[in-house]
Structure 1
Amino acid sequence: MSLFVLPGFDCEAFVAATLAEDLGQGLPGGGHDVTSESVIPASARFAGVMDSRDAVTVCGLPIAAAFFRALDPGMAIEILVEEGARVQPGTALMRLTGNARAMLTAERGALNTVQHLTGVATLTRSYVDAMGQTRAKLLDTRKTIPGFRHLEKYAVRCGGGHNHRMGLWDAAMIKDNHVAVAGGVAEAVRRALAAGVSDVICEVDHLDQIEPALSAGATRLLLDNMGPDTLRAAVSLVAGRVPCEASGGVRLDTIAAIAASGVDYVSVGRLTQSAPAADIGLDFTPL
């Protein structure tokens, strides 16, 4: 069985856990699809079409296929569009033919995954488009659903965005609480570098924090909750010594001005935190 491959993500375990949750495995009376088993003959077969009801940026179809093949390894599945494709309403995304019970049992897990990831990719694409022709790159954050981080960050990439650090392990990000305990941005940065951390991102709330952070050796600055005018001033002070990231309160109607300020990155938590599910359906026909 061909499974979706993504570093840090176990597709087989994800599918198995999601199906087990839906089937109530391990609970009294659980472990089966009561409705399908009582209504649908075991030998019945369906043909199905998954399609989009809205204009979306598609993400998650190979994972949906893994749901169906987990319950019917012989199911014929044709994925009709590439990941990250922008499609119009009414576009067929996937065709499948196989055991009817398997399709019905896997349907919700498959659709939930595709709807959520497509929602993230679609929202990301809208932010990328709104940035206009600037050199700034759109970043996600760690504001992800627990257990879904690798999938949601994959969806951001499908939508044309880029990933910030994957977690607490791959870069230091010094924020206000770290600064408060350390006694200042310079001391916080020095401590991180002394500990052997190579990538040290330092959040600054005020322009007068920039020089101390840079002098201490910060490798990137996160310019927090600054308006476009202040961002331009900050970029001028940094003068290209390290990359600059704008973050905090970024919206679709403000990102163009923020991106045009000269920053290298704009990070947006709502890409993964607040993306609405895409309207994607799956219709079956008995064979």
Structure 2
Amino acid sequence: MTPLPPLPEMMLEPLVRAALAEDLGTCGDITTRTVIPPGTRYAARIVAREPGVASGMQLAAIAFRLVDPALAFRARVADGARFDRGAVLAEIEGEAGSILSAERVALNFAGRLTGIATQTAEFVAETRGTKARITCTRKTTPGLRLVEKQAVLHGGGFNHRFGLSDAILIKDNHIAAAGGIRPVLQAVKARASHMMRVEIEVDRLDQLAEVLDEGGADVVLLDNMDTPRLYEAVAMNAGRLVLEASGNMRLGRVAEVAASGVDYISVGALTHSARTLDLGLDF
């Protein structure tokens, strides 16, 4: 996998500052201040207790730097790289008190995002030999969408829209409120910018036929269709529009869905149900 460029730190610092402010509270790290003499220096390592795919190292580095700019942080495993159990992901040197005060926030970001990247890589592995791409959704932790979607990229997945202003995505409730598939697509053709991509959700093959007949969409989201119907949808579409399968996308089902010929498989679980990977900081 080609390494992704890091995100601009000006976009990440507010997230890390908020997390540090939450953790340090009004009085700072009173435990460390009480028991660690000033000037005590140590070297520490972030160590993986289990294998995975790295993400969040950039945020961990920011956490240590914001607590103490004099700390030296060296990432030993790049975001997007695989590692084994026992791997040293990063090394930190400097004031022991500063390392301890930043530890939990750094590990929270790294563990959470590494968990997302690792789970994404597991889903991506199930699509090998097909054209299907694994993509995330907007089912993200409030305030952390940017970094969680970056973690999906680190795991080899792709990003769906980041927010409501990225693209037109017509879902079942839009169709119901607007009076049907034809009215919503006619409205899109009349009002949408020529620069805006349009996706529409269907859960039946007759709806797909209506979309293909009416025109106005670029992508069709095939929602909660069983695998035989996905094969039928791909045949009906005949390569005209991009097809995205969504709903009930368990790891054990992804390979058969990918084999149907769909272009994308969206998986909300990449971000809303990822397990935090077990990382520790050892002195």
- TM-score past 0.5 threshold: yes
Aligned to 1:281: 280
How do 1:1-287 and structure 2 match up within 5 A? 5-6=6-7, 10-24=11-25, 30-197=26-193, 198-214=196-212, 215-284=214-283
Q: How many pairs align?
A: 276
Shift of 1:222: 0.2
Shift of 1:211: 2.4
Shift of 1:104: 0.7
What is the TM-score with the length of structure 1 in the denominator?
Answer: 0.93
SS at match of 1:125: helix
CA distance in 2, matches of 1:282, 1:217: 53
Deviations 1:140-163 (A, max 9, x none): 000000001000000000000000
Shift of 1:7: 6.1
Letter in 1 for 2:130: T
CA distance in 1, matches of 2:239, 2:266: 19
**Relative to structure 1, is the Cα distance of residues 108 and 245 closer, same or farther in structure 2, using a 3 angstrom cutoff?**
same
Structure 1 alignment gaps of length 5 or more: 25-29
What is the TM-score with the length of structure 2 in the denominator?
Answer: 0.94
Structure 2 alignment gaps of length 5 or more: none
Shift of 1:9: 6.9
Instruction: Check the 8 A contact 2:6/2:58 in 1, yes or no.
Output: no
SS at match of 1:47: strand
Deviations 1:225-275 (A, max 9, x none): 111110010011111111000000011110000000010000000000000
**Relative to structure 1, is the Cα distance of residues 213 and 7 closer, same or farther in structure 2, using a 3 angstrom cutoff?**
farther
CA distance in 1, matches of 2:273, 2:160: 17
Superposition RMSD in Å: 1.4
Instruction: Check the 8 A contact 1:58/1:118 in 2, yes or no.
Output: yes
CA distance in 2, matches of 1:261, 1:177: 27
Instruction: Check the 8 A contact 2:57/2:75 in 1, yes or no.
Output: yes
Identity of aligned residues (%): 47
Letter in 2 for 1:236: A
